[in-house]
Amino acid sequence: MGHLVWLASNPQTGPRLADHWEKSVVDDVFSSALRKQTGVSLKYMLDFGSRPIERQLILSAQFLHNELPVRLAHRVAELENSPYGLSAKPHVLKVRDWYVESFKELRAFSRIRNASDEEEFTNLLRHIYFRHRNVVPVLAMGVAELKRELQHEVGLNDLPDIHQMLDSFYLSRIGIRMLIGQHVALHEPQKENHIGLIDTRCSPGVVCADAIADARMICMREKGSAPEVSIYGDPGFAFPYVPSHLHHMVFELVKNSLRAVYDRWEDAAQEPPPIRVVVAEGEEDICIKVSDEGGGIARSGQPKIWTYLYTTARSPLEDIRDRSAGSTESAEGPSVLAGYGYGLPISRLYARYFGGDLQMISMENYGTDAYLHLNRLGNVQEPLP
């Protein structure tokens, strides 16, 4: 353990921030990282964006102009001081420098006074949003490199400070992309019942059906066939939510169940039992349950499903770690059937972002039930790390 203690107490063994950036930028980053972040709620975004007139858009841009550098600075400081030498990994340095570049551009932007300033600022936000599209897979490659280095001494699952840092980083990323995406979306032609990214009549049943179809298509591509999935609940029920977030979470849960059921029943004489997706409407929460008979997880192994890069499949990171960031997968990360180990922990962060949660209950040698809770009131402020 002596080597691990040394690594933990010497978090940065490679290039420091000051080695790449001028002192004024570095000082500004760490000064901004001391400022308090300001959280918003889903209801606030709905109320604020319900009439995206010029004055409202200017106020939104002014808020983001002040808030985004603070959030980016917090993450830069976190990446700069990550334990066990993670800060020195080339892919982590790449992500850190993306954040510094965006921070610098935002700080250099003049005060927003009128519609012309706001339009120019919105173009900058689009540029930043695009720059950060591959953060998840690129940072994952840095973590994978650390895992390979430490695998003979300790499992990555035994390093809670690494997982705490990644939870904090990825939760913040969800918030940053939500704020930018919402502001940019208010400039686009509004879809029916939408306020920016938020669907005021989001149907869990419809989103679940789309996510199920996408997950089954991936399973068929990877495995050659896909178990059936049945969905239960009131198809007419709707509530305000971000459909892309809900789709991401349900897709990950169903994808995991499809793989588990396929693997367990592949050589069986009978057809595998269908996966059941149940949508239940409560006064405070919407609950979506995904139930499978895919063999479940041993109780001792259940805590591992929330740790980053724990997976029972070969990681595609092994195949892409030598590629440039520009050739990694889609904007929000890869959609292969399994292997990254990020699906469940990041899905739980998406749930928690708006006041919900994700829980897993498993019966070894039978199956697993996943319970996705969504706050239907929209009154919970972002849980800022």
Active site residues: 248, 252, 255-256
The answer to whether residues 172 and 74 touch, using CB atoms and an 8 Å cutoff, is yes
23: part of which helix (H) or strand (E)?
helix 23-32
- Please say whether the dihedral angle defined by the alpha carbons of residues 378, 381, 382 and 385, taken in this order, is positive or negative: negative
Q: What are phi and psi of 250, to 5 degrees?
A: -65, -40
DSSP 169-232: HHHHHHHHHHHHHHHHHTTSPPPTTEETTEEEEE-HHHHHHHHHHHHHHHHHHHHS----EEEE
Residue whose entry in the numeric block shows the structure tokens 């001792």: 300
The answer to whether residues 342 and 307 touch, using CB atoms and an 8 Å cutoff, is no
The answer to whether residues 289 and 278 touch, using CB atoms and an 8 Å cutoff, is yes
**Euclidean distance between the first and final Cα of the chain, in Å?**
29
Q: How far apart are CA 126 and CA 331, in angstroms?
A: 13
The answer to whether residues 156 and 27 touch, using CB atoms and an 8 Å cutoff, is no
Kindly compute the dihedral angle of the four CA atoms of residues 26, 27, 29, 31, in this order, to the nearest 10 degrees: 160
Distances (CA, A) of 143 to 14, 33, 172, 307, 316: 15, 23, 18, 12, 13
Residue whose entry in the numeric block shows the structure tokens 């300033």: 117
Q: How far apart are CA 193 and CA 185, in angstroms?
A: 13
Helix (H, G, I), strand (E, B) or coil at 294: strand
Q: Determine how many CB atoms are found less than 10 A away from the CB of residue 26.
A: 18
Strand partners, 375: 285
Name, in order, each residue with C-beta under 8 angstroms of 128's C-beta and a sequence gap of 6 or more.
68, 102, 105, 106, 180
